[in-house]
Structure 1
Amino acid sequence: MLILHIGSPKTGTTSLQQFLNLNEDRLREGGINYMRAARSHIAHNPLPIAVTQRRDEALLRAILDEYRSDPDATHVVSSEIMFRILVAQRFHEVFPADLRAETKVICYIRRQDHYAEAIYKQRAKNGLVKVDRQAFLAAQMPKLRYSPLLASYA
């Protein structure tokens, strides 16, 4: 089985990835493989980036090879960059059907108003908000519709 953890942002993804990374050897002893293929540091961010840029062939091959090298393990890939509609749509196109059939998608979500508030606060703290709150919220509205994104992974 492949577990595809797709985030979402502001739901503890980094903490989860740090745990998986720090406990990689112990998890592997228990049959859980935090995949090394397509992983940079603690997350598999190169994979969704390559998928959206249509340069995913080598990374997908590496994931397939690692997956097939231990078919009885539960393999885990984690990146909150996968919580984007374009990435979800492209994954459906490029992931081999046999691997999709063995894949479970896990996604933690926040209530939309709490999510928008957390994103706004983070960007304001980092000096990245250049507009008022209403304009910011209007720009975020498409991202707050979770159903189309999640349906693309189904």
Structure 2
Amino acid sequence: MRLILHIGTHKTGTTALQHFLSANRKRLNDSGICYASPAHEFDINSIANALLIDGQAKFRQFILENLRKAERNGATTIIASSENFYAMVRYLTRFKAEKTSAEALAKERSLIERLRAAIPTEVECHILCYVRRPDHYLESLYNQNVKKVALLTSDIGDFLHMIDDMLDYHLYLSIWRDVFGSSACSVRAYEAALPNLIDDFVRHVLNIEDISSFTRPNLRANERLSRDVLEYMRLRKQHIRYSERKLERGIFALVDKRITSPNNNHEYLSPDDRAALLSKLEPSMERLRTEFNLPLFPSFNLEAARAFWHPYPGLSLEKKREIDFHYDAVQRQVGFRLERLLIRAASLARRRLPFLSWPLDFARASGIRRLLLEAASRFQ
């Protein structure tokens, strides 16, 4: 049995790829491939997250269950995908766990070793990671984590300081290579896979040439918000409850569609800051290209960038008032009001009546909450 473990990175089309693999489970099975994920989930992010909590137990149980399932179905390959496996010590603790790179990397190695020990020795492992030019990865990751309302209020400079070692792909991927072996690890360039990462994965990783019969989910995953709405979110983070972050993302997604003349300037780094970052990372990128047979990242022309760069002017008072107006209108919709009420009622019940935790978790998993919210949305 062969296991393909897709470990990210974030912001390289992973969510779209996971939805595609999930939607094509039957067709993949016909090709001897089992796409593995927990029930009602399209990736194994929850399994990756559990490594920080209970070590390898949940991951081992997941692997063994899917080995049995694959064998019953006559499959010879299992695919599992979670972008949270890349730099998990940093990412899963919201970039605030270990204070030094040495501490973070030591814990990262320990987690990867536990993961490897959880996989039966007879399983042939293949670790796959997509990477993109580090400055673009930084900006996209920053955008995503402000949008996710994950209590991130820092600017791009502070964020870079928090995740500095995550941009050193060689540093992290060499740990996977050490634990699983050089022949078991491969790295692909996100830019080289464009315009369609899914085609690249199916053809070059799964070795399936004809993908015309595969379902293409109508999905644009993790779309960016306009710069003004994103800045508005960042500035009002202290007023957003952590338990309501997903609700707020839904509200702001609708607000973004309503505002006029949105600013889509997502160049957070100045040309000189970008050049300095790429220069600093060049030795690591060269090692990555050499040791993992990776093509060159797109080049950066400093003079051309200086000529065309326009810094973001900041959130104007007029634009803030417009966003305030639309935010107030959207969050008053019946569906959002009901969802906020359910979230706060559940939080209160968990604190005062702990025995209700199980029924609440069951209601969420069974889809009752989702059906109730969909019914409410019809009245909006």
Shorter-chain TM-score bucket reads: 0.7 to 0.9
Name structure 2 gaps, 5 residues minimum.
90-107, 178-380
Number of the residue aligned with 1:104: 126
Task: Determine the structure 2 residue equivalent to 1:23.
Answer: 24
1:120 paired with 2:142, answer: yes
Alpha-carbon distance change, 26 to 111 in structure 1, aligned in 2, over 3 angstroms: same
The CA deviation at 1:139 is 1.7
- Of the candidates 76, 81, 86, which is equivalent to residue 83 of structure 1? 86
Cα pair distance change 1:129/1:75, threshold 3 Å: same
Aligned to 1:2, the other structure's residue is in SS state strand
Two-structure CA RMSD over aligned residues (Å)? 2.5
Q: Would you say how many aligned residue pairs link Structure 1 and Structure 2?
A: 153
Check if 1:149 corresponds to 2:172.
yes
Aligned-partner SS, 1:131: coil
Q: Which amino acid aligns with 1:74?
A: T
Does 2:11 match 1:14? no
Taking a change above 3 Å as real, the CA distance of residues 126 and 77 of structure 1, as seen in their structure-2 partners, is closer
| Range moving further from structure 2, 16-25 or 135-144 | 135-144
Distance 1:147 1:34 in 2: 28
Which amino acid counterpart does residue 138 of structure 2 have in structure 1?
A
Compared CA separation, residues 25 and 5, structure 1 to 2 (3 A): same
| 3-state SS of 1:63 partner | helix
Q: Which moved more, 1:20-29 or 1:112-121?
A: 112-121
Q: Which has the larger radius of gyration?
A: 2
- 1:51 touches 1:91 (CA, 8 Å); kept in 2? no
Amino-acid identity (%): 32
Relative distance call for 1:131 and 1:117 in structure 2 (3 A) is same
* Pair 1:14–1:94, CA change in 2 (3 A): closer
Secondary structure class of the residue paired with 1:53: helix
String of CA shifts for 1:67-104, please: whole Å, max 9, x gaps.
25528511001001111254564132343365486110
Higher helix share: 2
Does the residue aligned with 1:107 lie in a helix, a strand or coil?
A: strand
Output the CA distance in 1 between the equivalents of 2:161 and 2:58. 38
Q: Aligned with 1:105: secondary structure?
A: strand
What is the CA deviation profile of residues 95-119 of structure 1, one whole-angstrom value per residue up to 9, with x for unaligned ones? Answer: 3365486110110011110101112
Is structure 2 residue 135 aligned with structure 1 residue 134? no
Distance 1:151 1:134 in 2: 27
Q: How does 1:18-97 map to 2 (within 5 A)?
A: 18-36=19-37, 38=38, 41-68=41-68, 69-70=70-71, 73-84=76-87, 86=89, 89-96=110-117
Amino acid at match of 1:26: R
Structure 1 CA distance for aligned equivalents of residues 152 and 62 of structure 2: 38
Once residues 77 and 100 of structure 1 are traced to their aligned partners in structure 2, the CA distance between those partners, rounded to angstroms, is: 17
Q: Give ranges in structure 1 of 5+ residues lacking alignment.
A: none
Q: Kindly provide the CA deviation profile for residues 16-50 of structure 1, in whole angstroms up to 9, marking residues without a partner as x.
A: 100000000110011111014x4651011122112
* Paired residues of 1:89 and 1:153 also in contact (CA < 8 A): no
Tell me the TM-score normalized by structure 2. 0.37
